[in-house]
């Protein structure tokens, strides 16, 4: 009887330890992004959180198509980085590797891992969002967190 209870309690701890908790995301200050951008001619969403505390946020627009495209890079204190490219159109990726279709919350996306950079591409209301993170020492394991970041778009 004691053996059965011990096995049950052990299994209970194993199951509790294996349960997947939602990732706690650090809040993003959207004003830091919008003050760096000028003349965006379309409605867009931003993620509400990141898997690390953003120390620096850089946003910019190319000199051509200023109103159609912009990029945001989020940097953490331990060399973490997640990039976000937002385009006011659907995009056909030109990556060499074959993408994997994935579910991201209510949306479908395509996940790529090419040249040690992970990409997650989703389209919401005709706007393409490309999340990416290079695989360097500060970004180890951030690729899996791209999905949680994508789910936080609002």
Would you state the pLDDT for residue 140?
A: 62
Would you state the pLDDT for residue 148?
A: 87
Would you state the pLDDT for residue 86?
A: 93
Contact between 128 and 90 (Cβ < 8 Å): yes
Instruction: Compute the distance between CA of residue 116 and CA of residue 96 in angstroms, rounded to an integer.
Output: 13
Q: Which domain holds residue 112?
A: 25-151
Residue 30 lies in a domain: yes
User: Could you read off the pLDDT of 48-77 as tens digits, one per residue?
Assistant: 899 888 898 999 887 766 568 899 999 988
Domain count for the chain: 1
Residue 1 lies in a domain: no
Residue 2 lies in a domain: no
At 151 the three-state DSSP class reads helix
Residue 87 lies in a domain: yes
Would you state the pLDDT for residue 142?
A: 66
Residue 7 lies in a domain: no
Give the domain CATH number at 61.
Answer: 3.40.1000
Would you state the pLDDT for residue 18?
A: 40
Residue 16 lies in a domain: no
Q: Rounded to 5 degrees, what angle do the CA atoms 122, 126, 127 make?
A: 60
Q: Quick one: which of 57, 53, 59, 58 has its CA closest to 77? A: 53
Residue 15 lies in a domain: no
Residue 45 lies in a domain: yes
Contact between 23 and 129 (Cβ < 8 Å): no
The DSSP 8-state label assigned to residue 95 in this structure reads -
Would you state the pLDDT for residue 116?
A: 80
Q: Quick one: which of 130, 137, 139, 145 has its CA closest to 49? A: 145
Helices (H), 21-152: 30-34, 146-151
Task: Give every CB contact of residue 128 below 8 A, 6+ residues apart in sequence.
Answer: 85, 86, 87, 89, 90, 91, 121, 122
Residues of the chain with pLDDT under 70: 1-23, 64-67, 136-143
């Amino acid at each position: 009887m004691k053996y059965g209870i011990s096995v049950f309690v052990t299994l209970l701890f194993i199951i509790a330890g294996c349960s997947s908790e939602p990732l706690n995301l650090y809040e993003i200050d959207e004003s830091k992004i919008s003050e760096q951008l000028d003349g965006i001619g379309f409605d867009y969403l931003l993620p509400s959180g990141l898997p690390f505390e953003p120390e620096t946020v850089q946003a910019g627009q190319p000199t051509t198509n200023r109103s159609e495209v912009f990029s945001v890079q989020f940097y953490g204190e331990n060399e973490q980085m997640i990039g976000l490219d937002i385009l006011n159109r659907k995009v056909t990726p030109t990556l060499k590797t074959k993408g994997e279709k994935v579910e991201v919350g209510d949306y479908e996306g395509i996940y790529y891992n090419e040249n040690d950079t992970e990409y997650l591409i989703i389209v919401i209301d005709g706007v393409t969002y490309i999340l990416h993170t290079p695989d360097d020492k500060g970004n180890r394991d951030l690729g899996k967190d791209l999905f949680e970041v994508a789910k936080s778009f609002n």
